[in-house]
Every structure is written in structure tokens, then in C-alpha cells.
Amino acid sequence: MPNYALGLDYGTNSCRSLIIDLENGRELGSTVFPYPSGDHGILTDPNDPNVARQNPQDYLDGCVSIIRGAIVQAHAVDTAFRVEDIVGIGIDTTGSTVIPVDSDGVPVVFQDAFKDNINAHVWLWKDHTSYREAEQITNLAKEVRPEYLAKCGGVYSSEWWWAKILHIRNVDAGVYDAAYSFVEHCDWLPAVLAGNTNPLTLTRSVCSAGHKAMYNAAWGGLPDEEFLGRLDPALPDLRRRLYETADASDTAAGTLSAEWAGKLGLPEGITIAVGAFDCHMGAVGAGVKKGTLVKVLGTSTCDITVADSDVADVPGLCGQVLSSVVPGQVGVEAGQSAVGDLFLWLVHHLVPEGYGADVSEKFAAMEEEMKCQLPGASGLLALDWNNGNRTVLTDVRLSGLMLGQTLHTQAHEIYRAYIEATAYGALTIINRMEEHGIRVDEVVTTGGLSLKNATMMQIYADVLGRPMKVSRSEQTCAMGAAIFGAVASGYASLTKLQKVVVEYTETIYQPDPSNQSVYAQLYELYKTLHDAFGKTGWSGSLDHVMKDLIAIRENQRTS
């Protein structure tokens, strides 16, 4: 008898569902719900580009829509499908996406008095209004709790939990006081479905706690009261209204309540797994394991792998949290601030219509042009920092750099240089991991870019010197969530389910040895620029850079 699992993936602008057959990974149904509020689901402030909020009602409405939609599809695809055979539900969301809630776990914004207050809404991960508070937290931790920073790359971000809460406290006492507690989106939704949103007892995810709230069992959970008190006298008291422990997603957050079973058209009692962040579950859905790095390639990237629980702290990575990806192993997270965004910026602003009438024609024509070019033949070298550098420099105050232009340089050569730059950035992350004992034997990519752009994938293989696989599923996050739903229900182990369910496209991109050796030379030059412009206190010599690039160019053009 077949069994199924249901994964829910809450992204930045929409949420989507996926029903999979646990015997073979077949995808039976998947629907999308674009959040209706604000601008593509995001509430903004015309006077402050840092503001990004959401309406929690969108999450609830979306939940009903995408689950009911997927069920209809599954029945249509397979008449044998029965909702009674769904063993578990897993949920991933963006984060740190913080909801101010009352003592029942109901969002403060659902109260009439706060329904028009943007600060009472959900604070979406990409809200950057809390940058001053993030700096305050970084500075204090550097001084008195360096161990907190060692787990999150050395810099606390304005995108994260404590910075947001502290900012609410600083700018809107009304909301802060009305909030009995705060809950991550990825913890709130499982709690809602399980029918227990009490902030003191709902299950908290170790993924969000560890990566965003400086939670670590080794130091007793959340940051201690003394530390929090030095940030703000109100925080120690809040700490008592948060949580002592956090769990991995192989744990059940509860079972589907009668109320929500009715809304969703599902039987009561289905296991709800503890939630986690989208990329972390996406990595599982793409087959992450020791030695495999999963790169979720989108506008930016999220790079995830896992390591033994005794792995050392790696400087410059975004986070290292036990059980945040695979239970019992350390989830290791890194990221590149701009990949797809970089290519889109180029094609929107600097590619003439000679390449095509629209964005996709231009990309296609440029990829066609660059096929015949050898590595280094353009003489160009770029840094991929147009949106700062997330890993390993963790510095937003960096910018782009392009070097080697002549009076003949063309747009498709610049495009290729940016692809290469993002590959060099990826290699820098991998090298940093390996220097600290985290092996990377192969790289798996997920996301539309990796399915669409074979030229890019081959360049990545040549630069990284490792085979590159592509996830067959375009819903790896929801896939990972579904896997955790099944694991939390006790249906099977994570390892076994990954083996059964995870598939790759046929093409595995293998490094070409001769391209690899040219890229090794180019990477040395990239690393020189990377360190020269990005590493505090660097000093050295750059007079060789342009000459080396010209020599490589001349060599490649005549070869």
C-alpha cells in the first residue's frame, strides 16, 4: 500500500505544496499560492527601503489553498491516492521571519488595535531596518561572548531574530509591550496546524534557534540573561517567555488538529514535523550528506552541507548548528550575496538589444556566444560583490569590481566573467570548509538557473574541480519538508528516504582538465583581488595582475 508525505514550502513571495509518493519520490501534486498582501506579499515603506513585512493571514489562507489544491491534483494523477495514506507533513519557511504574538500565540496584528500597524506584522527575513541593533549585538558579543559569534561567521545580521526584536523594542513600545512573545514563522505554522500555539510550550526549531537566535545547547540554549540585559533591560524578562530547548525536524511538533483537519480536507492526527528554514530542508531534498555541498542557486545562493558533530568552528561561514539540517550532524551554512541577481542586473542594465529583444533572448544569445570562448580568453576578471560578500568575508560594505577590459570587450564576455566570479566565490567557500576539515567531494545545485544554464554549470565544474549534479525536482525545499514529515512520523529514516526519493538530472558536469588548469591560474588572481579589497590589513603587490591576465588571454587566444 502506498504512503505519501506532504511538504509545505513558504517562500518570500508565495507558498507551495508538494505531495510525494514515499516509495519512489513521484510528485503527485503541487500548487502555488502567491501572497495577496502588499507588493508580491511584502509590505513596504516608500520612505525606507529597509522595511519588509508580511501579513500572517496570507500564511493561513495559503495553507488551505495549496494543500487542497495538491490533493485535487493527486487524485487526478492517481486514482489510488487517498489522504488517509499521508503519513506526515513537513514545513519550511524563510527566516529569520519573526512574528510578535500574544500569550496565546496569536499574532498581535490580528488585534483590531494593531491591524494597521506595520510593526505589528511579520518581520520578513529581508527586513534590514535593524542594522544598528545588529551592530550593537555584534559589538557586545565580540567583547563578552565571542563564542556566540563563532557559530555565525563573526557578524550578527540585521536579518536575524534578536536584532529585529530589539529594534521593535526601540521603535514601537506599543507593539513590543503587546507581544507576550515572539515566534519564528517556521515554528508558528506547525504550531497552528497542531493546535497548540502557546509560546511557552510550542515546539521551537533548532534550525532557526541555532542559526538566528544564537541558541546552542552547549551554553544552555539562548544567550544568557546577563548578555541580553546589556543589550536592553527588558530582554532578560522576555527570555523567560521564549524557550529553553529547540528540536530538529525529525521530531514531531504535534499532530494535525481536528479544526485544521477540517479546513484542509485531511484526516485528524497526521504527524506535523518541527519546521525549519527553506534552504536547510531544500538541502535535504537535494540529497545533502557528508561530502556533498548543496547550492540553492537563486538571486543569491544558500550553500549547505553537514559535518560530524565535533567539527571545529569555521570562520566566515553563516552558521554551524547541530541538527539544523540532518539530525545528529552539524548543519553548515554559507552563502553568496548575488548570483542570479548579478546576471539579471547585467542583462537589464548593460546588454544592448543586439543580443535579443528581451531578457531571455539576451541570455540565450550571450550563452551561445560564450560557448566558443576558452577560459581566460577575454582577459576579464571580476569580483562577485555587487551585493556585498556574505561568505567568507561577511561584509556588506563591499562592492563590485571588473578588471581587464579593453576597447574590444563585449557584453557576453562580461557575462561570462560574472559567471566565473560567482564560481570563484563558490570555490572560496569550499576551500574555507576544507581547510577546516569539512570535505566537499561533489556539488549539487538546485534552482532554475542550474536547470537552464548548461554553460554556467560546466564553468562551475571547471572552476570548482568537482562533479556538479543538478536536482531533478524543481521543488527541493518542499521535497525536503515532505521527507521530514515522513521521518517525524516514524515511517522511515532520513538516510533511507533520501536514497529512495532524491533524484538528479542525467547530466553530471565533470571538470575538463585543461580548462581546470587555466581556471586554477585565474583563481589565484581572483584570490589576490579578493584578499586585497576584502581582507582587513591585507598588504601586498598587485602590479602583476593585469599583466598575468593579458598573458593568459594571449595564450588562450592562440591555443
CB of 330 to its own copies, least distance (A): 31
- Tell the smallest beta-carbon distance from residue 351 to its own copies (Å): 6
Nearer to its own copies, 439 or 544 (CB): 544
Residue among 325, 330, 152 nearest 248 (CA): 325
Length reported for the chain: 559
Q: Closest approach of Cβ 529 to its own copies, in Å?
A: 9
371 or 535: whose CB is closer to its own copies?
A: 535
Q: Whole-number minimum distance, CB 401 to its own copies, in Å?
A: 5
Residues in contact with its own copies by CB under 8 A are 338, 341-342, 345, 349-353, 379, 385-387, 397-411, 414, 532-543, 545-547, 549-550
In the structure grid, which three cell numbers stand for residue 398, read together?
Answer: 563591499
**Least Å from the CB of residue 125 to its own copies:** 17
- Among 15, 21, 14, 7, smallest CA distance to 74 is for 21
| Shorter beta-carbon distance to its own copies: residue 195 or 400 | 400
Q: Which is nearer to its own copies, 124 or 549 (CB)?
A: 549
Q: Which is nearer to its own copies, 2 or 534 (CB)?
A: 534
Kindly list the strands in the beta sheet with 440-446, ordered across the sheet, starting from the edge strand earlier in the chain: 319-322, 330-336, 301-307, 291-297, 440-446, 468-470
Q: Nearest Cα to 185, choosing from 62, 271, 6? A: 62
- Between 135 and 313, name the residue whose CB sits nearer to its own copies: 135
> Least separation, in Å, of the C-beta of 298 and its own copies?
14
Q: What is the Cα–Cα distance from 274 to 421, expressed in whole angstroms?
A: 37
Give the Å distances, CA to CA, from 306 to 177, 215, 437, 469.
39, 18, 11, 17
Which of residues 46 and 352 has its CB atom nearest to its own copies in the complex?
352
- The CB-of-554 to its own copies minimum distance in angstroms stands at 10
CB of 545 to its own copies, least distance (A): 6
Say how far apart CA 77 and CA 167 lie, in whole Å: 48
CA dihedral 95, 96, 101, 105 (to 10 degrees): 50
Q: In this structure, which amino acid lies at residue 188? A: W
Cell 549547505, residue located: 304
Place of cell 524557550: 243
Measured from the CB atom, the residue of 44 and 410 that comes closer to its own copies is 410
Residues contacting 391, CB < 8 A, separation 6+ = 153, 303, 316, 317, 318, 334, 335, 336, 428, 429, 432
